[in-house]
Structure formats: C-alpha cells, structure tokens
Amino acid sequence: MPSSFVIIGAGQAGIKAAETLRAKGFDGTITLIGAEHWHPYQRPPLSKAYLKGEMSEDRLLLKAPDWIKGAGIDTHLGKRATRLDPATRTITLDDGTEVPYDKVLIATGTHARWLHLDSADLPGVETLRGIDDTRRIGARLKQAHNVAIIGGGFIGMEVASAVRTMGKTVSVVEAQERILARVVAPEVSAYLETLHSEHGVNLRTAVGVDAIVGNGHVQSVELSDGSAVDADIVLIAAGAEPTIDLAFHAGLDLARGIIVDNACRTSVPHIYAAGDCTVFHSARYGRLIGLESVQNACDQAKAAAASMLGEPVAYDPVPWFWSDQYDTKLQIAGLSAGYDRIETVGSIPEGRFSIRYYAGGTLLAVDSINDPRAHMMARREIAAQPPALAA
C-alpha cells in the first residue's frame, strides 16, 4: 500500500477525500495543500446567510482545525501548488517546497470567470468565490447604496436576494432573455423573476454590458441598449471556469475540465481528480458532464478516496443542487438539458410546485420550488430508471 497521498485543493472535495481515506483506515501520510489560508469551508453560505451576516466563520468550516490535526492530516494552507511532475511524482509549491507523492488527488475546483470590460479594474468591481471575496463585498456594502450584478445565474440571483434583504438598491443585468436560462425551464425562470421583481430588484434581461464607468471608484454600468444602472458595487457573476492549469502542464487529458473515469482516475497513473475541476462520462445521461455542486464534490471525493485505496467504485450519480432566494428554496434533481416536454405538478400561484423534464418517456430532471419531499422522491425516481437516458 502506498504510504503518501497528497490532495491539492483544500475545499469541499479535498477535505471529504481526506476524511474518507482516514474513515477507510488509511494510515499513511495525507498532505492537504490549499491556496487559500482558510481551513476547508463550505461555499454555499457565501452568497446567502454569511453574506447577510447571519452566519459566523466558524460555522463555515467543514472540519474543525483540531479534527484535521487529530486525524493526522498535514496541511500546507496559503500555499499554491505550481507544478505537478508525474515523472518524479513531485508537487512544487509557490514557496519552493517540494512534496513527493505516491498518489495525488487534484481537487482544485473552479475560479470565477472575469469579464474584460472597460474599467473592470476599478475598486468596487468584485467576483464571489471565497470567504475573502464575501468579506470584501460585505465591507463595501456598509457604505454602498447601489449594487449592480452582471449575470443572472445562481450566484447572481442569490446575491441579489441577500443584498435586497439588506435594503440596498439592486440591478441584475442578464444577456439572455431570462434568468437561469441555462439550467431551468422558462416557468421556473418566470417564477423567480416575479419573486425578485416583487422584492424590488431591477431586472434587466436580454441586454449586454458595454462598460463599467467610474472615476477612482465604480459609479455605473453602461448597457448595450444605451441605458445605464447606478452602482457602488459591481458583482461580476458570469459563471466559473475549472482550475486546470496544473493538470494541463502535467499532460492530463482535458475537456472543459480534467477528464476522469467513473473511479475518478485521470489519464495519468497515480493521479486522481474530483469535484468542480472534473468532467466524466455519465452512463445515466449518455454524455460527458461536469457538475459544480456540493453533491458532486462530496460523492466524487468519496469515490476518489476508494479508488486511491485500490477499491474503485463506479460513480454515476443522480446530480442534485439547491438554491435559496428570499424564503424560496429551489431544488434540482437530475439534468434537464435535452428535454422535449415538461409537466407541472403542484401550484405555481401558491409557490409550491415541481417542473418535471422528460425526453420521450424518460424523466431527466425535476425542479422543485418549496417542496423538499417532491425533490427527494424525484431523486429516487430518476435513480430507479435504467442508465443511458441519452438526452
């Protein structure tokens, strides 16, 4: 049994893999390398309760520092891995430290996509991925009145909801015809758009951003239809990109992320990958998929740990995800891309319903609004179907 396992990326997948290795009795060396100076923490509250000041930093932590120490997990926090050399099985950190490995797990997640707009370098223009981002945005919010959010995806809409609750003026600019267009049916977008409008969000859909404007500090955002929205803070919430630079230079096979098999093995021996930075072939959906969710980070981390211990499992989950906006909970089971028909169950006016997405007779996915029971049942129902839904 190899005795030295290294995990690059001290996030949701990284710590879950370390925990699983110890739970399965691995008694060799585990080294966790994290670019952030924080111990591993959960990100979902960063755009929700933590942004609103309703949650302490302690509660964000996925494992107490004492637990990590007690489990004999060595950490290099605040250190970025800059090189992974499969030939010598060595990782180099940004302070020059060399860390040898027998097996390594890459769990480097994603980073926020940046938009190269005029004046995007002005103070007050932000992205949101980590604790430090939320702290900086929170500090700015103490003085700010107007918040402009570029991008009507999950993070954009969650921040809109949190910041409206704090009494700020909020504009959301979305280039598509509707918010969340990439992930939910028009009915769900329409429901959430109404929710946000009723809470006073200025929703600007089907319009692009031409420039950010300011003088020493951001002041407004110019839109492609010639109008502008005032802004003391601009949040660029334009999606995320997998962090795969190490993997690229190490010669791993890549698509949108690091390609792994169903046991989280990469194309290079002794190198595994898990979480947001990966893509894998889903027999269930008949295509290569990449998932950015807590569910996938945790489940893939467990699969990777088993695989590193020589007990490969076949990972092919029913993906699931949630988003909280105001008092509304959206839960998604499965992947809806490729649907040809939807069915609505429940009552949209009463704010408790599910949209069921089908391809032929096969249930691909279910979006549930304020109905956790329907969500749990949907996960079971999709799981019970034969694989190769082939959207």
Ligand X SMILES: Cc1cc2nc3c(=O)[nH]c(=O)nc-3n(C[C@H](O)[C@H](O)[C@H](O)COP(=O)(O)OP(=O)(O)OC[C@H]3O[C@@H](n4cnc5c(N)ncnc54)[C@H](O)[C@@H]3O)c2cc1C
Could you list the residues that contact ligand X (CB under 6 A)?
Answer: 8-14, 33-36, 43-44, 46-47, 80-81, 107-109, 128-129, 155, 243, 246, 275-277, 292-295, 297, 321-323
**In the complex, least distance from residue 321 CB atom to ligand X, rounded to whole angstroms:** 5
Tell me the residue type at 78: G
Minimum distance of ligand X from residue 157's CB (angstroms)? 11
In angstroms, what is the minimal distance from the CB of 271 to ligand X? 14
* Choice between 250 and 359, CB closer to ligand X: 250
Nearer to ligand X by C-beta: 211 or 240? 240
Give Cβ neighbours of residue 333 (< 8 Å, ≥ 6 apart).
318, 319, 320, 365, 366, 368, 375, 378, 379, 382
Distances (CA, A) of 38 to 75, 78, 298: 11, 7, 19
Q: Exposed, middle or buried, 92 (CB in 10 Å: 0-12/13-18/19+)?
A: middle
The nearest distance, CB 196 to ligand X, in angstroms, is 17
Running DSSP on this structure, what letter comes out for residue 47?
G
User: What is the phi/psi pair of residue 163, to 5°?
Assistant: -75, -30
Nearer to ligand X, 90 or 362 (CB): 90
Look up residue 180 and give its two tokens. 């969340």
Give every CB contact of residue 25 below 8 A, 6+ residues apart in sequence. none
Between 44 and 124, CB nearer to ligand X: 44
In the complex, least distance from residue 338 CB atom to ligand X, rounded to whole angstroms: 21
- 213 versus 289: smaller Cβ distance to ligand X: 289
Phi-psi region of 42 (alpha: psi -120 to 50; beta: other; left: phi over 0): beta
Task: Determine contact, residues 75/34, Cβ cutoff 8 Å.
Answer: yes
Q: Scanning the structure block, which residue is given the tokens 């996960």?
A: 379
β-partners of residue 68 are none
Closest to ligand X by CB, 41 vs 357, is 41
Shortest distance, position 64 Cβ to ligand X, whole Å: 17
**CA dist., res. 284 & res. 297, Å (int):** 18
Please, what is the minimum distance in Å from the beta carbon of residue 227 to ligand X?
28
Ranked by CB distance to ligand X, the top (closest) residue is 11
Residue 147 in 3-state DSSP? strand
Task: Give the per-residue SS3 of 35-94.
Answer: CCCCCCECCHHHHCCCCCCCCCHHHHECCCHHHHHHCCEEEEECCCEEEEECCCCEEEEC
Nearer to ligand X, 33 or 389 (CB): 33
Our CB check for ligand X shows the closer of 108 and 354 to be: 108
* Smallest distance, ligand X to C-beta of residue 222, A: 26
Strand (E) or helix (H) holding 367:
strand 362-369
Secondary structure of residue 322 in the 3-state scheme: strand
Q: How many CB atoms lie within 10 A of CB 136?
A: 16
Choice between 39 and 178, CB closer to ligand X = 39
Q: How far is the CB of 144 from ligand X (least distance, A)?
A: 19
Pairing verdict, β 328-334 and 341-347: unpaired
φ, ψ (nearest 5 deg) of residue 22: -70, -40
